[in-house]
Chain A
Amino acid sequence: NAGVTQTPKFQVLKTGQSMTLQCAQDMNHNSMYWYRQDPGMGLRLIYYSASEGTTDKGEVPNGYNVSRLNKREFSLRLESAAPSQTSVYFCASSEVLAGGFEQFFGPGTRLTVL
């Protein structure tokens, strides 16, 4: 049981390049999320997917697109990277609890845009 996995772990891009961050979970969770964490700050929600086939914008969606490929996989795409997108990106999935839920986070992808 690997939990939430992300690839790659590190990436350096030049301004204007594109890339896709991959996320997969093996816990059979319906909901999945993408966050970014800037230095010294908390996490901010980029996009989320409440179930397979649905996606919605979070707090900071500009410059990103997502695809919920199936129940396990949720990818984040940067079409034209900008230095402001330098950050650590975390994927998460959530388990429903009685009265709430619990989110489980992947190890993160450290992205630098030059």
Chain B
Amino acid sequence: ELKVEQNPLFLSMQEGKNYTIYCNYSTTSDRLYWYRQDPGKSLESLFVLLSNGAVKQEGRLMASLDTKARLSTLHITAAVHDLSATYFCAVDQAAGNKLTFGGGTRVLVKP
């Protein structure tokens, strides 16, 4: 059974500093996805990582995938208040294009 674990569960950030969220998963997969969820809202796709060594960047966010280590990281550079949200990683179970989600990392950026 595929398990996906994120840490930390909660991250209190100071504006202007850098932080990293980690996503570990238990079985072989080459496909990992990052989503953002604002309170009371739906999920917004951030990054789609489809191969070992994949790196994607958008603004202050950068995601990478190491399939050998079964690890993805989401790096936040110079945090700003607008990045406050819950971030989820999800791993493709391969058959049927099904996703298994991590428990989420709640990010709060303080001035």
Q: Range of interface residues on chain B? A: 20 to 34
Q: Is A94's beta carbon under 8 Å from chain B?
A: yes
Contact B98 A45 (CB under 8 A): yes
| Stretch of B11-19, B45-53, B56-64, B70-78 contacting A (4+ beta carbons < 8 Å) | B45-53
The distance from the CB of B85 to the nearest CB of chain A, in whole angstroms, is 14
The majority secondary structure among interface residues of chain A is strand
Residues 56-111 (chain B) with a chain A CB within 8 angstroms: 88, 90, 92, 96-104
Contact B51 A99 (CB under 8 A): yes
Residues of A within 8 A of B33 (CB): 102-103
A-B contact pairs, 14 of them (CB 8 A): A31-B97, A42-B90, A42-B102, A42-B103, A43-B90, A45-B98, A45-B99, A48-B96, A59-B100, A90-B43, A96-B97, A99-B50, A103-B33, A105-B44
